[in-house]
Amino acid sequence: MLQRKLLIFFVLLCATAIGVFSRASWILDVYQDFFPPQNESVCACNKCLMDYDPWLSELMKESPEPFLSPTNNISEDTFNWWKHIQTDRRSFAFYNETVNKVFQIFPTKVNFTRSSPDLCRTCAVVGNSGNLNGSRYGPLIDFHDIVIRINLGPTKGFERDVGNKTTYHVMYPRSFKKLDNTTHLVFFPFKISDLLWLIRSFTQRQKETAKSGVKTNTNLVMILSPAFMKYVHYVWLEKHGRYPSTGFLTLVLSLYLCDEVNVFGFGADKKGNWNHYYEEIKNKRLRTGHHPGKLEYQYIEKLHKQRKIHFFRGW
- Confirm if 172 and 246 have CB atoms less than 8 A apart: yes
- Confirm if 293 and 157 have CB atoms less than 8 A apart: no
- DSSP string of 57-98? HHHHTTPPPSB-BTTB---HHHHHHHHTTSS----HHHHHHH
Report the chain's terminal Cα–Cα distance, integer Å: 87
The answer for residues whose C-beta is within 8 angstroms of residue 15's C-beta and 6 or more apart is: none
256 is catalytic: no
243 is catalytic: yes
User: Rounded to whole angstroms, how far apart are CA atoms 175 and 124?
Assistant: 20
199-228: buried (b, 16+ CB within 10 Å) or exposed (e) per residue?
A: eeebeeeeeeeeeeeeebeeebbbbbbbbb
Strands 221-223 and 309-312: unpaired
Residue 41's Cα: distance from chain center in Å? 19
Find, among 201, 204, 314, the residue nearest to 268 by Cα. 314
Find, among 108, 122, 102, 142, the residue nearest to 47 by Cα. 122
Q: At what angle do helices 92-102 and 76-83 cross, to 10 degrees?
A: 100
Identify the active-site residue in 172, 243, 277, 278.
243
User: Rounded to whole angstroms, how far apart are CA atoms 68 and 239?
Assistant: 22
Catalytic residue IDs = 243, 291
